[in-house]
Chains A and B, each alone.
Chain A
Amino acid sequence: MEMIVSFILAIVSYMLIDNVVLSRFYGICSFIGVGNKVKSAFSMGLAVTFVIMMATLVCYPLYFYVLVPAGIPFLDTLVYILVIASLVQIVGLFIKKTSPSLYKTLGIYLPLITTNCAVLGVVQTNSDSQLDFLTSLANGLGTSIGFLVVIVLFACMRERMNGYNIPKAMKGVPIALIVAALMAMAFMGFGGMVG
């Protein structure tokens, strides 16, 4: 019981307090790039969730049961990025075969995920700070759900912003960054929620 509680608390803390985009700054490129339409933001968020979970599940045993016993833990980054790139390929092929409609929604975002730093960031933090398996899973789950929530909220705001009269110099990325700043301030309110 205690384990479940701490697992859930860890997820909440990775999701809201240490939010992936707003306080850890992973995946800003796709956040700014894709987060201007709710539909595409949602698809991107789902695809990232999927890949992060798979990558966490694969890379954890790879690091602790292959790289460390073999005495080459310094090759971690190289191995992770190869694993992530091939995972993205496999996931793409798999979805294409089994569910063409899902592939239509996720398809174009899949290649982008290889270079989304959220995936590598999560996996690398797991091994850098020597987290145990359950905490690693919580990190993966919390990070990806946090990404999904924030990118969808952000896209909602940017869709509404289209109708407003913004100063010419602030149009596009600058105002998006200011909106992100306001969101980050709002998310600071979650600080101290978990123990």
Chain B
Amino acid sequence: MDKIKRGQHKESFLNGILKENPLLVQILGLCPALAVTKSLETAFGMGLLFTFVLVSSNVIVSLLRKLIPEEIKTPCYIVVIATFVTIVKMFAEAFLPELYSSLGVFLSLLVVNCIVLGRSEAFAGQNGVFDSFLDGCGNGIGYTWAISLMGIIREVLGLGTLTIGKVFNFFGDPLTLPILKSTVLDAHGDPLYDFSISIFQNPAGAFIVLGLILAVMAAITNHKKAVEKAKEKAAKEAAKAELAAKAALAGGAK
């Protein structure tokens, strides 16, 4: 394998994680990002299942890309995706019942998720199997960390605590970390301190959190652009000054 090709592989994996993050940069897949991020663990579980569907549908679509006629490619992609969604649904129902019930209908709605369909259309339909696999992994990881971030923010601000091990309950009892709300009760049966803001558990809180995260991303991009522009300007001015100095020197020599 030559060097340039290896770079391409790396790019198709890394692009989805940060530079072209499906949720934070391309702003796709908003429905699950808003609906299942009440707690960190549901969000993370959704991310995992989503990644599985994305990777496997990417692989199958790219295997079949020469067989599928151009005119009916979207229905074909949807059938492939729906098959994997059904598999994931059955798997979750059997092994992660807590996750299955808290995700509810949003597991089925993965079929019409714009990211999964978009990656099939834009990437897997044109590229090789290995690249499509990497692209699926990258986008899946990118989406998973983005919605997990939302899950952490909404759970900590809304409930005041962070619970680990309730959904993925293979490791014994769940662990609840008191962050904004104490788990110790006082004489009246109230928590010792409680600074949680329950609106963040409501739909309105989901919109606010996502809106602010996207605003922060936009601010960072704007700042980077401004810095680059300033650098360019400085370089141009320096070049101009050099030219002027040279001209002045030449004039002095005359």
Check B211–A181 contact: CB distance below 8 A: yes
A117–B28 Cα distance when bound, in Å, is: 13
For B109-131 the 0/1 string (1 means CB < 8 A from A) is 10111100100000000000000
A115–B82 Cα distance when bound, in Å, is: 12
A22–B210 Cα distance when bound, in Å, is: 14
Contact-size category for B: 35 or more
A28 within 8 A of B: yes
Check B204–A184 contact: CB distance below 8 A: yes
A58 within 8 A of B: no
Q: Which of B40-48, B83-91, B137-145, B156-164 contacts A (4 or more CB under 8 A)?
A: B83-91
B195 within 8 A of A: no
A22–B206 Cα distance when bound, in Å, is: 10
Interface residues of A in 64-118 (CB under 8 A from B): 74-78, 81-82, 85, 114-117
B227 within 8 A of A: no
Residue in A closest to B118 when the chains form the complex, CB atoms = A115
Q: Number of A interface residues, CB 8 Å?
A: 44
Check A124–B109 contact: CB distance below 8 A: yes
Interface residues of A in 105-160 (CB under 8 A from B): 114-117, 120-121, 124-125, 128
B108 within 8 A of A: yes
Using A124-B109, A169-B216, A169-B219 as known contacts, say yes or no to A32 and B30 having CB atoms under 8 A apart.
Answer: yes
Check A177–B214 contact: CB distance below 8 A: yes
A31–B211 Cα distance when bound, in Å, is: 14
Interface centre among A22, A24, A125 (most CB of B within 10 A): A24
Check A77–B82 contact: CB distance below 8 A: yes
Interface residues of A in 161-195 (CB under 8 A from B): 167-178, 180-182, 184-185, 188
Interface centre among A77, A120, A171 (most CB of B within 10 A): A77
For A9-51 the 0/1 string (1 means CB < 8 A from B) is 0000000000000111111110010000000000000000000
Closest Cβ–Cβ distance, residue B44 to chain A (whole Å): 18
21 sample A-B contacts, Cβ–Cβ < 8 Å, listed by A number: A28-B30, A28-B31, A77-B85, A77-B89, A78-B79, A81-B82, A114-B78, A116-B112, A125-B105, A128-B104, A128-B108, A170-B211, A170-B215, A172-B218, A174-B215, A178-B208, A181-B204, A181-B208, A185-B199, A185-B204, A188-B202
B residues adjacent to A (C-beta < 8 A): 27-28, 30-31, 34-35, 74-75, 78-79, 82-83, 85-86, 89-90, 104-105, 108-109, 111-114, 117, 199, 202-208, 210-212, 214-216, 218-219, 222
Beyond A170-B215, A188-B202, list 15 extra A-B contacts (CB 8 Å): A25-B31, A25-B34, A29-B30, A29-B114, A74-B89, A77-B86, A117-B109, A117-B112, A120-B111, A169-B216, A172-B218, A180-B207, A181-B206, A181-B208, A185-B202
